[in-house]
Amino acid sequence: MCGLAGFARLDGQDLGPEFDALLSNFADLLHHRGPDERELLRSGPVGLAFTRLSLVNPQDGTQPLVSDDGNLVLIANGEVYNHKELAAGLPSDVRLKTGSDCEVLLYLYRRHGLDFLRDVRGMFAIILWDRARGQLVLARDRFGIKPLYYHRTDQRIVMSSEIKALFADPTTPRRFAWDRALSVPLAAAAPRFSPEQMCTWFEGVESVPAATVLRVDLRDGRTTEHRYWELPTEADESTSAEGFIERYGDLLEESVQDCATADTELGLFLSGGIDSSIVLALARKRAEGLHTFTALSGGTRDNGDAEHSSWLARQWGIPNHQVLFEPGLTPTPEQWRRLVWLTESPLVGPEVYYKHELHRFARQARPELRGMLLGAASDEFNGGYSDGMGDDWPGFLAGLREMNRTTSLDRMPGLRYWWGEGEAFLSDDALHSPGAERDTDLYASYVLSEYRKVQQYNVWHEDRTAAGSGVEARVPFLDHRIVELTASIPERLRPRLLWDKRILRDAVGSRVPRRIAERTKVPFFYGNGTHHAYSMLVRLMNENGRELVEQALAAPGADAFLDADRIRRRLNDFAQGRSDSPSVELLMRIVNMGLLAEMVTSAPRLESMDAGTPRTELLVHSDPVADTRELFEPGRNHDLNAVPVSADGLLMLSHADGDQYLVNDGQIEFVLDPDSPIVRVLERIDGTSTLATVLSEAGVELKAVEEELDTLVDQRLVLFAA
């Protein structure tokens, strides 16, 4: 992984020495992406800044890379996995000067022009300067795994791996794109197919599209867009189910071996599900000394991730670090602001926070670690969400049909009135403009939507959470050959191969124990773990007198789009114990938008923002559930000799309507019925009496308040002392 940035004149003028400070600033802002090395280049109309994270050939891979005739200059972020194969196909007179896997791209471009990435396998973002033609070439891999953004005017173009560096150039607008951001279906968790255009969240900022080469003429600014890859639309009717399964297994094994190749230490995020476990099974012999990392939170403890990952690592004798997210853990407002600014996206939630902290722990525990293997993006193309949308394949397709109809109604809102309660009176044909070709393959439309969603959310946050700690995220499931294979499965074989990821389980499931291969998919923090994660968000939004919320509401543009009173009332609802609602995460995204709108005006530097202390590890002896019982379930043992202690700042106040308000640090946590037994118990907690004494004086049996007491313990409002 590396950091790329550049600046170029589009009016035929050269850059003067006054631009050196800007290039140096670019490198400073991208230091976290490439802490091992930095290089600056200013020549003619182009200036380039490069920061390097060394994974392959650390001693011999300095960039910019220059062709033998000096006409082509390249900086690249990512990995070209088949670079040796590609180099072998170059003309005999080409002599590569370095061991960099990216140098071959110079000569592929010289030979094939805009088609130079057609046979390249890997993840990459590229800035290439063609001196002879006076052209700038920008390109990204097929899935946009590696980022590249730009802002341009008639006179100049500025480019960077991360948006924050673009703001170093004064011509880049510093405004959050409220109207566009609020219309992104993914941000509102709307059941829609993803739109074609990716949102960058900021005005004037564009993203080089995935699978695309942009060529910009530096003399007049004319731009050519060349797309070199598309998702396949033709079904492969000639291959049997067994043939697809065999081919899938071969491709995945090859992809994992590619991703597990490095000259520095690699790690792996292990959830105990089939995706990350299969990657571990296929990588553990190639990547010697591999360490695995698992989030140990209330959610992963409840859903089995912590238990299964620990068990599998012990079976194979592989180190597994259970990174602890203890009950009541809440990032500070400043730490959250830093995370939002690092990711440059309002879609920051519990998943992003947990992964960011896992990377921080991993880099601290293993200082030589430079890359992290992930099981990400398997579900999107292997049918991983199918059983969550229906009881069988026809039920799944029915769910897709509803998503498609809703998406179509967004384009023809006048017809929405006819879809009220019950059955609609209109046919699906009515949702298509006259003469427009109707899409009859709903699953293909769904896969295309997932392809776009992966770019907007998955690879975006996986890149930033890793980059924040100087780590490169590697995603074997995003080998384009694997996605092409599953996209070409004909309709008749989809129920057999794509229901609940059957193709993956049948292809490589024998590589892992059966309890892992057939384990039911569980979300990272949704389901059983939702209340743990959402409670954290509620606490965060209430921190320091609702600091983040008030900052968001005061941000430029917020008053035109946000209803401050309703936001505050909704947060009051959450504080009163109703925090399992998905609205918690949606409100957090709204707050994140405001934070971005506020921060972009000043463009803070990451190094000046407090990231907090990295998480600690729980040393698991046999079972993380058992080993953390005292931590996560201190009240579950119900030791009657233990002393219940109220949290500092916890008060119980009577209201005129008769209800009892449980208030912590000035915020209402629960509204209680005054006749409830738990009220009598809380009134008698004095910090010195045992639980048995408190219950006796309240005249209450333990079982009558057990559930409420456990909830208060989960929220860290009541603690137990020996």
Half-sphere exposure of 240 (CA within 13 A, CB side): 3
User: Mean per-residue pLDDT for 536-560?
Assistant: 96
- The 10s digit of each residue's pLDDT in 661-717 is 888 877 777 888 888 899 899 999 988 899 999 999 999 988 888 878 877 876 778
Measured CA to CA in angstroms, residue 512 lies from 241, 281, 644 at distances of 22, 7, 45
Range among 88-97, 513-522, 558-567, 647-656 with highest mean pLDDT value: 558-567
Contact 23, 7 (CB under 8 A): yes
Which run of H or of E encompasses 385? Answer: none
How many whole angstroms separate alpha carbon 375 and alpha carbon 396?
Answer: 23
Longest dimension (CA), the chain: 92
SS (H, E, C) 295-358: EECHHHHHHCHHHHHHHHHHHHCCCEEEEECCCCCCCCHHHHHHHHHHHCCCCCCHHHHHHHHH
Strands 369-373 vs 472-474: parallel, antiparallel or unpaired: parallel
State the DSSP code for 167. T
Token output for 584: 């918690």
**Residue 459 confidence class, pLDDT cut points 50, 70, 90:** very high
What SS3 state is found at 125?
Answer: strand
Q: What is the pLDDT of residues 199-228, one digit of tens each?
A: 999 999 999 999 999 999 999 999 999 999
Fold that domain 2-227 belongs to in CATH:
Glutamine Phosphoribosylpyrophosphate, subunit 1, domain 1 (3.60.20)
643 forms beta bridges with 721
* CA distances (Å), origin 277, targets 268, 271, 427, 505, 589: 10, 7, 45, 11, 31
Distance in angstroms (rounded) separating the CA atoms of residues 397 and 449: 14
What residues does each domain of the chain span?
Answer: 2-227, 241-383+445-525, 528-601, 633-721
Looking at domain 241-383+445-525, what is its CATH homologous superfamily?
Answer: HUPs (3.40.50.620)
Q: Which helix (H) or strand (E) holds 272?
A: none
Residue 369, token pair as written in the block: 């670690």
Residues belonging to the active site: 2
* Residue entry with tokens 């499965």: 489
Model pLDDT, residue 664: 80
Average pLDDT (592-613) is: 96
Residue with tokens 């230490």: 265
CATH number listed for the domain at residues 633-721 = 3.90.930.60
- pLDDT tens digits for range 14-36: 999 999 999 999 999 999 999 98
Residues 397-455: tens digit of each pLDDT: 999 998 988 888 888 888 888 876 656 778 877 887 665 566 679 999 999 999 999 99
Q: What is the pLDDT of residues 280-338, one digit of tens each?
A: 999 998 888 999 999 999 889 988 999 999 999 999 999 999 999 998 899 999 999 99
Strands (E), 228-284: 265-269
Residue 39: band (very low, low, confident or very high) from pLDDT cuts 50, 70, 90? very high
Instruction: Please give the pLDDT value at position 276.
Output: 97
d(C-alpha 353, C-alpha 299), whole Å: 14
